[in-house]
Chain A
Amino acid sequence: EVQLVESGGGLVQRGGSLRLSCAGSGFAFNSYYMTWVRQAPGGGLEWVANINQDGSEKLYVDSVKGRFSISRDNAKNSLFLQMSGLRADDTAVYFCARESPYCSGDKCYLPGSFDIWGQGTMVAVSS
């Protein structure tokens, strides 16, 4: 079964740090881009960051640049999000998601679609 399982969420004080993990199973983890998406309480979805297959390319939403760092360990089929300088507006459920390429005929393109999601892990930042 293809699966993503997040962990590492919790309650942290403003300005603090937290490291989220996402364990993948049931698929060739090292063949896929991976993404973090967050959802504030009662709010919509917000893309946070993604990373390419070997970890050499990373992109972030402007609001987390310089504070969050995405990484991966393909040997352990794991994705990480190191968060520092946490703010109240970082409070959210954080989901990891697999990114599959768009394909047309025999050609495939990235960026693609978020086809597998984890169950999410809650991060609460207290003031």
Chain B
Amino acid sequence: SYTLTQPPSVSVSPGQTATITCSGDELGDRYACWFQQKPGQSPVLIIYQDYKRPSGIPERFSGSNSGNTATLTISGTQPLDEADYYCQAWDSSTAVFGGGTKLTVL
């Protein structure tokens, strides 16, 4: 079965750039999405089709996808960006999520 691998945790200082990776076999040949989930809340779509942002998502969130790695970049990270982040892609007709990355802003 297809697997997406994320680092369990990433730390960043306020105002700096956070980078979260998602690795999967030939992931660049598929579209990747990213979700943000804060404690006790539902996931929120923040990046789709590799790099597109839904309406209302700040420009500091950006995405890319090439080769075996999709990347979520948060520029000028703010304390309110502290959350769990999940990547997702499709394997045939099955949705696959990465294990999630806890972003700590300190």
> Which positions in A face B, CB cutoff 8 Å?
35, 37, 44-47, 50, 59, 61, 95, 102, 104, 111-115, 117-120
Complex Cα distance A61/B48, Å?
22
B42 touches A117 (CB 8 A): yes
For B, the interface residue count at a CB cutoff of 8 angstroms equals 22
A125 to chain B, nearest CB (A): 21
List, in ascending order, chain A residues with CB within 8 A of B45's CB: 113-115, 117
Stretch at the interface among B10-18, B67-75, B95-103: B95-103
Q: Hey, what's the 0/1 contact readout for B11-39 against A, CB within 8 Å counting as 1?
A: 00000000000000000000101010100
A60 to chain B, nearest CB (A): 9
B84 to chain A, nearest CB (A): 8
Task: Enumerate the 8 nearest inter-chain pairs by beta-carbon distance, A residue then B residue, closest first.
Answer: A47-B95, A113-B48, A117-B42, A45-B97, A44-B100, A111-B90, A113-B33, A115-B45
A115 touches B49 (CB 8 A): no
List, in ascending order, chain B residues with CB within 8 A of A119's CB: 42
A102 touches B48 (CB 8 A): yes
List, in ascending order, chain B residues with CB within 8 A of A44's CB: 86, 97-100
Complex Cα distance A47/B31, Å?
16
Nearest B residue to A93, CB-CB: B42
Q: Which residues of B (30-61) have their CB < 8 Å from a CB of A?
A: 31, 33, 35, 37, 42-45, 48-49, 54
